[in-house]
Structure formats: structure tokens, C-alpha cells
Structure 1
Amino acid sequence: MSKPKILIVDDEESIRTQMRWALSADYEVLQASNRAEALSTMAMEEPSVVLLDLGLPPHTDSSVEGFAALSEIRSRWPITRVIVVTGNDEHDTALDAVSRGAHDFFAKPVEIADLEVLLRRNLQMVELERENLRLRKEIEEREGTEGRILGTSRPMVELMAMVDKVAHSEAPVLITGESGTGKELIARALHERSARARGPFVAINCGAIPENLLESELFGHEKGAFTGAHALNKGKVEYADGGTLLLDEIGEMPLHLQVKLLRFLQERTIERVGGHNLIEVDVRVVSATNIDLHEAILAKTFREDLFFRLNTVQLHLPPLRERSNDAALIANTVVQRYNGQHGTKITLTNEAFDAISAYEWPGNVRELLNRLNRALIVAGGERITPADLELAGRDQAPTIFDLRTARERVERAVIIKALEKNGGNISRAAVDLGTSRPTLHHLLNKYEITAREYTRA
């Protein structure tokens, strides 16, 4: 049985050596002396626990670098447990670290017996988290995406009909939509309904991986390609061979990697970092973004030729505020599933349904699910109220709804006026409105406006 991996991040070699010597019998001990080394090791090894000294270079006399490392580790590896190391007189700093996401702390000088207690406790929590994820994945695989994409609103019905049509094609698909709308679920639905359904579905978030590691994560690396590359490592593209690759947050990809991605899309071959052999890979590429790539092209942060390669088919996922009644449907379904799994009889009150329907949901479906999951855990009784969802005291909801309705009426009228002025020409109307053509197409669908009705005879 393999040993649990722990990572020691400390700029003092003597401390790293002491802890490695004391812990190596029970753990695979990894080491890093600064934030960059720590993140590189995290990406390659994914240890269960990190022992993080907050006084890292180049700011060893403060916690700035340590807090930055803590933030990145918690953001990118949420299951990994972080135990911070502080001086004896830095109790407030330790508490600050816990408030920022650290799971535990201990003070120097290191008492190995105390440290081993902390490690065992945190490793148990990691195993519980992994087991929960495994069970959740089993449930999701049994249900498939069919059971997780919820919505009876017109935009969602039309979107899923389009997913059915596009799934059987090999064409690249670009999924657009605000953060939290469920773009990865749509990508999975495309995969599960395609001829590649028996192959792998591999997702990579281009915005969550440091620029210096992203190329290796995508295309892999050969042994010795760079410091810390102790073995050959396949990238996400290779792992997706025979299946579907989702490039999430594609708009965050650095320009030099966009060139390499474009070459792969054209030639269907890759070259690992530090390698010289061309490797043929058969994948369908789906990308997703929450930014306007047309604006990114104008800002010269995204290549136009890559955009055209990725945007053969575009699917737009509307925000939850534009999907009438879907929020209440999702909420009710989540609660019923929870009851089925836990043998409970929890219900949403009428006031809770009203609050859910009235709220704007700036964080979209992700925010709704987070509020519901929290309410299901902490609600004392069998009824979830607006207060349990932290939506209480929003008596202004009808006003918000009225303002939104008024805003939408004005927006619709302005679009119609632009179409009338330009004889139904969408491109010219988009220029007048100061928006992109795809965005205007989305608004036309939203407001059920047919451009050809304004074509001049």
C-alpha cells in the first residue's frame, strides 16, 4: 500500500530535513522551498496534506508570500489539507491563516509527536472528502447529465435540442455563458450523447493553472524536461484520446499556448514538452468561456484564427435570471433528491419558493446549489425558509422584478429601433448598439425578435 503524500513548504533546509527524517517512515515526504516550487509539486504530485511555513521568500519577514501560496492551494486543490507553520509569538497570524482557509496550525520549534497527531487527523478528513466525492460521482454517473441539467424554460429547451443535434457531429463547439451557469454539464451532455460516449471525458481549466505549468498539463512532458520532471507525464490531450476534451476558461489561455493549440487542432498531433516525437491524438475539442472572445480579439489577448477554429458551433447557456421558473424547479428537485438519499422529509416553504423566484442569482446555478446545500445541512426543522437560504429581508424583490422587466422592455425596444434603422441587417445593428454579432443574436432569441421582419422591401 502506498504511503500518503505530504508536502513540506519551508525555506529553511534544516527544518525540511528534520521533518523528512522524522516522518518518512509513514509518509512520502515532498519538499519545496518557495511558492513556485510548492505549486509545481502540487500540480505533479497532488499531496494529501501541505505543511506550509508562512514566511516564504522573497518576503521571509512577513506572511505575504505564505498567504498567497495558501490561497492558490485552497483554490486549485480544495481537498488538500493545509497546516500552517508559525512562530511562537504569531498566534494572531495563525488565526488569520485559518480564516483564509488553512485547516490547522502549529508553532515552531516543531514537536514531531504533536505534528503526527495533526497529520493523522487531517489525513482522515482527506479520506472522508475523497469518499464523499467518489459516492457523489457514482450517483452522478448513474443519473447521467440528463438528471442534472434541469430547466423547462424556453431557452433551456432550445439549448438541449441544439445539444442533441450537435452531439453527433465531430465539429468543435464553443460554449458561452456566465460563471456558474453549468457549462461543463453541457459539455458532458455533448460527450454522453456522441459516438465518443464510451471514451474519456477530460476537462482542464485554463484559468486555474499557472502559465508556466499549463503547457505541461495540456501536452505532457518528457522525463527531465524541466526541474522537477522526474518521469514522463502524459497531458490532458493524450488522456482524452478517443473521447472529448473540454478546455474551460479558454479565454484565459496565454497567447503562446494558443499557437500550439491551433497547431494541434489543424494537424491532430502534439509534442510533449522536452520531446521531439509527434504523437497522433484523436479527440473532439469543446471549449467554454465566460468572457466575450470578440472583445478579447480586439484587445489582442485572443487569436482570431483560433476563435474561428473553436467556434464552428456555438452554444449559449443563459443566466438563471433569464430562465423563468427554472430556479424554483432546480431547488425543488435538489431537495427531493436529498430526501431520497437521506430518508428525510424536508420541504421548501411557499415563502422560500417566492424568494428563490424573485432573486437575481448573480452566481447562477452554482450559487443556488451552494445556498440549498448549506440550508439542507444547517436547517433545524423539516421546512426550509428564506432565512435558511439567506434570502430573508428581501422585501424589495417585487421592485427588483419590476425594474428588471422595465429594463428588458427598454432593451427590446432599442434593439427593434436599431433593426428598423438598418433594414434588419444584424451586423450593422450590432455596430450601432455597440455589441458583438453573437451577443445580438442571443438577445434576438431572448426577446423573440425576428430580424427579417425589419428587412426593407
Structure 2
Amino acid sequence: MTESPRLCLVEDDAIMRASLCQRFKLESIDCDCFIHAGEAVDALAQRDYAALISDIRLPDMSGEQLYARLLEAGQLPPPTIFITGYGTIDQAVRLLKLGASDYITKPFDLDDLLLKLREVSPSLFEDMHEGSAELGVSLVMRQLKNTLDRLAAHRVDLLITGESGVGKEYAARYFARRCNKGDAGPFIAINCAALPEDLLEAELFGHEKGAFTGATKSRRGMFEQASGGVLFLDEVGETSPRMQAKLLRTIQERVVQPIGSEQIIPVDVRLVYATNRDLKAMVDRGEFREDLYFRVNVAHVHIPPLRERKEDILWLTHRIVDNYFHQHKARRLILPLTERYLEAQPWPGNLRELANAVERACILSPQEVLGPREFGATGEESLPASEQLSLKEAMEHYEERLLRETLQHHEWRIAETAESIGISRKNLWEKMKRYGISQPE
């Protein structure tokens, strides 16, 4: 089996290293992290990496010395990007002359770093697993993406079901992009439950001037506006029997008749429907037309709630945190303890509730490190007095917990533990001594 391309990261700053590793994980990039340049040199001699990202200022040697070591050993270094501060830009320029691919200056946007990385090492971004992580990292969401890709290649309408807030419109927009690949067709969305029946009819089918009180000019309906693209009908289960009858004719014949007009207008549009209700049960109760149900339910996908795909909770959390950094240039780090707390929550409001919670924590937290208390946790599940922790104290708390849990996971085997967290055995022993960690009898 072909080994997946891997990235080698050398960064001694704990928060920067954690932030980068979190983002690379989101992008499904396999990454080996090192604190010392010497460890990275040894690793680079033992395996082929698709790319190297290294800070220039490191504890044991500079990035320039690291690169020189690789060249002296007769190795062809992988595509290399150096992270540099203002004081080391001259070194970065010298490294470019030696063969390095690029450099990026602090502070930098993670998206900018990923763009540079994609340019110098596209193999890292090739999908090595089934489905990419555009909709989620859980198996069910990867399979959903593959299904949407296949459906988009055929001329079918789509029904998306799921609880409120699971991301039905996001999936609809992804489907529309796949349908319109290479085409600039529009995506138009309307919430059928948000408008009175008469106004919904006018919005969907259009109207002539003077067709009703307030119609001061003619207006094209959304079916016409979306021609050549996708029309998203959200909460289609909330439509009235009269509106269901009009929708049925339009869906069957692909024509609309604006209110107050005798003209029949053909429309060329893909339809995506969404509902959080059970349409089949509504048909059985006489609340939804059976013939319309069969028209709507040609191709059907269901999006499960977050509580049934917990792998996506952290994926979404880190994407929201990254977006916050991109907008406000304020870095936030999610502690492992916080990750476990977030995964344990039921999130009845799904993505919408999670996004609100993460954005609120990012805005209100006075510190870079987000503990469970920033998300409303109390008691033992929270960091003790996290609101009073300095950044240094929070990172030490994080590091100690990580060491203990990793040692327990590897049954206190020092070599395996050191390798899994990217430090030397000597460094691990020193940290265990510092935190008073010893194997229980």
C-alpha cells in the first residue's frame, strides 16, 4: 500500500505548534511535529517527507543550520517553507538562494500558509481517503459528499432532510457548486415557512404590475431568477395545500405563470428541497400531497445530527476558530480537556448552536486558551479557575495532562510516548520530572 504523503513541522512555540497541527488535521494532512531541529534532521534522514515547515529560530540550532545540515548530508531537502520574524528575514532570503521554496513572516494567516504549502507540495492535498472533508470528517458526511457528487452529475432534483441546524442549506450550496461546475448558474434560496402564502406565491412565480395591492411594478419570480442554476426551497413541508398544488404543476411541467399574467414561462432550474419534518408521515396524515411527495423525493439524502457524528464537532469547532482568527487576527487555542467537553454535549441546535457557542467563547474570553468554562462548563469538567490562569499556566496544565494521558495510553513506554508527541526521550524524562509524573506501582 502506498504511504500517504507526510509533512514535517519544526516549531518550538507550543501554541503555534498546536495551532498549526490543529489546522493540518482539519485539512487531513498527516504531520510529524518536532521541537528541536536535530530531531527533524534525524527524521528527514529516515523517511521521505512531502514538505518541511520550520521556524528559523529554534532551541538547538537555526533553521539556516538545519537546512545546511541536510545539504551537507547529501540529502535533497523536501520543498521547504520557513517561518520567520522581522529579525530573520535576511536569513530567509539566504535560504531561498540555497534552495528553500518560500518563507512566511509572523504574524501570518493560516490560510496564507496553506496556499504556499499547496503551491510547493500539492501531493499533501491529494485526497488519500474516501471523500474529502468539505462537509465533515465523519464517515457519514464523507459518504454524503460522495453521494452529492454523483447526484450532481445527473439531471435530478434533491430532497435533503435533517433536524434544524444540521447544515441542510450548506449541503445544498455544495450540491449547487457541483451542479454548476464550470458554469456561473445562480443559487437562490427561500424559506417557505417564513412568508405568508400570498407573498410566497409572488416571490416564487413572479407577478405583473397591478396584480394585487402593492404590486407597483412587474417582478420576475425566483423560479425565473434561478434559471440555469439551483433554487433551494427550505422548509418545503410547511407549504399550504394550495401552494403544494402550484408547486406540483411547476415541478412536473417546468413552467411558471406569474400572478396576473396569461403568459406561461418555461424555466430551466435544478430544485433542492429541505425539511426537518417526516414528509411520508405527513402524507399519511393528509398534510402533504402524495403526488408532490413522489416528485420531491426522487433523490433523497439525510444529514444526521451532531450527536450522531461526534467526529465532526471538533472539525467544525476548529474551522470556526480559524475563521475567527482570519477575521480578527486574534488567536485562540482549544485545550484537549475542552475538546472532550464539547464532544460530550448533545448540541440539540446542531451546527447553529455549536457555531454560536464557539464564536461567543472566542469573543468573550480574555485569554488565548479556551477552557471548558468559556463554554459554560462547571464543576470537575472545567479547568480550576480557568478565568484566572495566565497563558503560561494554562499551557503547563495542558502539557502535563497531555503527557499523563499519552503515557497511560502507551502503558508508560517512554520511547513510544516520546515518538507519538514529537519529542526526544531525554526531553520527555525532563518534563516528567518537572511535573512530578511517575509510573504508578
Per the alignment, residue 179 of structure 2 pairs with: 194
Are 1:153 and 2:138 matched, yes or no? yes
Q: Deviation at 1:350?
A: 2.2
Per the alignment, residue 380 of structure 1 pairs with: 366
Q: Deviation at 1:183?
A: 0.4
Change (3 A) 1:277 1:334: same
Q: 2:167 pairs with 182, 195, 200, which one?
A: 182
- Report the Cα distance in structure 2 between the residues aligned to 1:180 and 1:384, rounded to whole angstroms: 24
Change (3 A) 1:346 1:195: closer
Are 1:389 and 2:375 matched, yes or no? yes
Per the alignment, residue 424 of structure 2 pairs with: none
Map 1:321-360 to 2 at 5 A.
321-360=307-346
Q: Which amino acid in 1 is paired with 2:152?
A: A
- Report the Cα distance in structure 2 between the residues aligned to 1:278 and 1:333, rounded to whole angstroms: 46
Q: 1:167 pairs with 152, 158, 163, which one?
A: 152
Change (3 A) 1:275 1:148: farther
- Report the Cα distance in structure 1 between the residues aligned to 2:169 and 2:142, rounded to whole angstroms: 17
Q: Deviation at 1:147?
A: 10
- Report the Cα distance in structure 1 between the residues aligned to 2:219 and 2:373, rounded to whole angstroms: 49
- Report the Cα distance in structure 2 between the residues aligned to 1:394 and 1:282, rounded to whole angstroms: 58
- Report the Cα distance in structure 2 between the residues aligned to 1:290 and 1:379, rounded to whole angstroms: 34
**Is the 8 Å Cα contact of residues 174 and 287 (structure 1) preserved in structure 2?**
yes
Q: Which amino acid in 2 is paired with 1:241?
A: S
Q: Which amino acid in 2 is paired with 1:338?
A: Y
Per the alignment, residue 234 of structure 2 pairs with: 248
Q: Deviation at 1:317?
A: 0.6
Change (3 A) 1:223 1:387: same
Q: Deviation at 1:308?
A: 0.7
**Is the 8 Å Cα contact of residues 174 and 312 (structure 1) preserved in structure 2?**
yes
Are 1:366 and 2:352 matched, yes or no? yes
Q: Deviation at 1:343?
A: 2.3
Q: Which amino acid in 2 is paired with 1:384?
A: L
- Report the Cα distance in structure 2 between the residues aligned to 1:228 and 1:154, rounded to whole angstroms: 51
Change (3 A) 1:312 1:322: same
- Report the Cα distance in structure 2 between the residues aligned to 1:390 and 1:330, rounded to whole angstroms: 18
**Is the 8 Å Cα contact of residues 135 and 142 (structure 2) preserved in structure 1?**
no
Q: What is the DSSP-based 3-state SS (H/G/I as helix, E as strand, rest coil) of the residue aligned with 2:347? A: coil
Q: Deviation at 1:345?
A: 2.1
Bigger shift: residues 380-389 or 191-200? 191-200
**Is the 8 Å Cα contact of residues 324 and 359 (structure 2) preserved in structure 1?**
no
Change (3 A) 1:254 1:148: farther
Q: Which runs of 5+ in 1 are unaligned?
A: 1-141, 397-457
Q: 1:294 pairs with 267, 271, 280, which one?
A: 280
- Report the Cα distance in structure 1 between the residues aligned to 2:319 and 2:325, rounded to whole angstroms: 10
- Report the Cα distance in structure 2 between the residues aligned to 1:389 and 1:148, rounded to whole angstroms: 25
Q: What is the DSSP-based 3-state SS (H/G/I as helix, E as strand, rest coil) of the residue aligned with 1:170? A: coil
Q: Which amino acid in 2 is paired with 1:236?
A: M
- Report the Cα distance in structure 2 between the residues aligned to 1:287 and 1:277, rounded to whole angstroms: 26
The count of corresponding residues between Structure 1 and Structure 2 is 252
Q: Which amino acid in 2 is paired with 1:369?
A: A
Q: Deviation at 1:338?
A: 2.0
State TM-score, norm by structure 2.
Answer: 0.55
Per the alignment, residue 215 of structure 1 pairs with: 201
**Is the 8 Å Cα contact of residues 247 and 288 (structure 1) preserved in structure 2?**
yes
Change (3 A) 1:393 1:221: farther
Change (3 A) 1:233 1:362: same
Superposed CA deviations along residues 401-448 of structure 1, whole A, max 9, x for unmatched, are xxxxxxxxxxxxxxxxxxxxxxxxxxxxxxxxxxxxxxxxxxxxxxxx
Q: Deviation at 1:340?
A: 3.3
Q: 1:225 pairs with 211, 232, 256, which one?
A: 211
Per the alignment, residue 258 of structure 1 pairs with: 244
Q: Deviation at 1:388?
A: 1.6
Per the alignment, residue 124 of structure 2 pairs with: none
**Is the 8 Å Cα contact of residues 132 and 142 (structure 2) preserved in structure 1?**
no
**Is the 8 Å Cα contact of residues 150 and 329 (structure 1) preserved in structure 2?**
no
**Is the 8 Å Cα contact of residues 221 and 235 (structure 1) preserved in structure 2?**
yes
Change (3 A) 1:266 1:319: same
Flag the structure with more relative contact order, 1 or 2, with Cα contacts below 8 A and sequence separation at least 6: 2
Q: Deviation at 1:332?
A: 1.6
Per the alignment, residue 55 of structure 2 pairs with: none
- Report the Cα distance in structure 1 between the residues aligned to 2:364 and 2:233, rounded to whole angstroms: 36
Change (3 A) 1:282 1:336: same
Per the alignment, residue 278 of structure 1 pairs with: 264
Bigger shift: residues 266-275 or 330-339? 330-339
Q: What is the DSSP-based 3-state SS (H/G/I as helix, E as strand, rest coil) of the residue aligned with 2:231? A: strand
- Report the Cα distance in structure 2 between the residues aligned to 1:163 and 1:391, rounded to whole angstroms: 37
Q: Which runs of 5+ in 2 are unaligned?
A: 1-114, 116-130, 383-441
**Is the 8 Å Cα contact of residues 355 and 394 (structure 1) preserved in structure 2?**
no
Q: Deviation at 1:154?
A: 1.2
- Report the Cα distance in structure 2 between the residues aligned to 1:210 and 1:155, rounded to whole angstroms: 36
- Report the Cα distance in structure 1 between the residues aligned to 2:378 and 2:200, rounded to whole angstroms: 43
Q: What is the DSSP-based 3-state SS (H/G/I as helix, E as strand, rest coil) of the residue aligned with 1:286? A: strand
- Report the Cα distance in structure 1 between the residues aligned to 2:301 and 2:358, rounded to whole angstroms: 27
**Is the 8 Å Cα contact of residues 164 and 190 (structure 1) preserved in structure 2?**
yes
Measured on the aligned residues, the alpha-carbon RMSD in Å equals: 2.1
**Is the 8 Å Cα contact of residues 158 and 272 (structure 2) preserved in structure 1?**
yes
Larger radius of gyration between Structure 1 and Structure 2: 2
Change (3 A) 1:210 1:351: same
Question: Alignment identity in percent?
Answer: 44
Q: Deviation at 1:387?
A: 2.0
